[in-house]
Amino acid sequence: MIMNPFSAGRRALALLSVSALVLSACASPVAGPGGLYATPAGNSPVVANPTPYSDALVCEAEWARAHHINAPRIAVGRIADYTGKWEADGSGRKLTQGASLMAMSALAKAGIPLVERYDTSVSELELKYANARLISDHPVPGGQVPASYRRIMAGQVPGSDFYLVGGITELNFNIRSNGAGFDGGGVNPQDLKGTAGAQTYVMNVGLDMRLVNTRTLEVVDVISYQKQIIANQVGVGLFKIWNGNAFDISGGEGALEPLQLAVRAVIERAAVEMIANLYGMPGPQACLRWDPLNEHVTTGVTGAYVPAYNNLGTNNASTRQDPYRWDDRRDPPVATVVRDRY
């Protein structure tokens, strides 16, 4: 059969028109009234990022507070990725390079006083400027010379009692995998045919961390952990020729346990054990012997903070993990504010 070129052209034009109509709902070459070409998809609120060990870290913080334990100051050093695994397509390393930051968050959840040693570039620059008498804590408006400059006092920087270092040392792919598949159907071309399959994969990530006495450089605690990660995929498909038309229908679902969240989990598990040792806790059963609800807390599964003002009874200490706080789509007080209006 010879197709009419004009008919084919009309079909192509209609297809392009429909495509343009669909795309116009997503993006436009002309910015809209709000200054955007397109509205970003999704409106998921920001939520906490806990692991199964985050509650244990918070429990340790409250246990130490209830028992008036003077927590040691800890600095977090380099916790690097030593696996050497990276993507062949050039997209980067497979594992997070922020393990040190995860460790800081874990220690904060446990109520540990932290001192910064990981990135001191700003403090060193401020110290340099202060030493040159270029910084004032109370600048005078109008560019006038301030009455006083910041003085450098001996011993003004608190030292650490311990520091935490280590590395991600293992990333093993496909420790074990299994799967099953099925294909079947009638022998005639018109008969229904189908396919189904399922696969499961297991991999793991390993961590080695150590806690070092800052004064003596004695390694006081060493922990090595690994966590296995699972992925699975299932799919089904049907094929049928009916009334001269071919129909191919398929569906499936897959899930991969987050790899970087697994790294956070092994770091938090190591932190739980080390902090329990420093606090002298008897174990998880210690969390069942007291009720922390009568005290205002400054730790949670999102981390910890030092109160800026004496307002523990009214500040946002207990609401930091509420996904609907400060969200202009879900929190009415925020939605009533117009930004950049003076």
The domain segmentation of the chain, as residue ranges, is 46-115+158-335
- The pairing of strands 162-185 and 74-81 is parallel
Whole-number percent of the chain with pLDDT over 90: 49
Q: Within a 10 A sphere around the Cβ of 39, how many other Cβ atoms?
A: 12
Which pLDDT band holds residue 201 (cuts at 50, 70, 90)? Answer: very high
pLDDT in tens, 165-189: 999 999 999 999 999 999 988 888 7
Strand partners, 249: 238
Domain at 46-115+158-335: CATH code: 3.40.50.10610
Higher pLDDT, 100 or 141: 100
pLDDT in tens, 260-306: 999 999 999 999 999 999 999 888 888 765 454 445 667 777 887 77
The answer to whether 207 and 228 have CB atoms below 8 angstroms apart is no
Output the pLDDT for position 3.
47
Output the pLDDT for position 226.
96
Stated pTM of the model: 0.79
The answer to whether 235 and 200 have CB atoms below 8 angstroms apart is no
First to last CA, the chain: 71
Most confident segment among 25-29, 148-152, 332-336: 148-152
Which pLDDT band holds residue 338 (cuts at 50, 70, 90)? Answer: low
pLDDT in tens, 106-154: 999 999 999 999 999 999 999 999 999 888 877 666 666 666 888 889 9
Q: Is the pLDDT reported for residue 191 higher than 70?
A: yes
The answer to whether 263 and 171 have CB atoms below 8 angstroms apart is no
The answer to whether 209 and 267 have CB atoms below 8 angstroms apart is yes
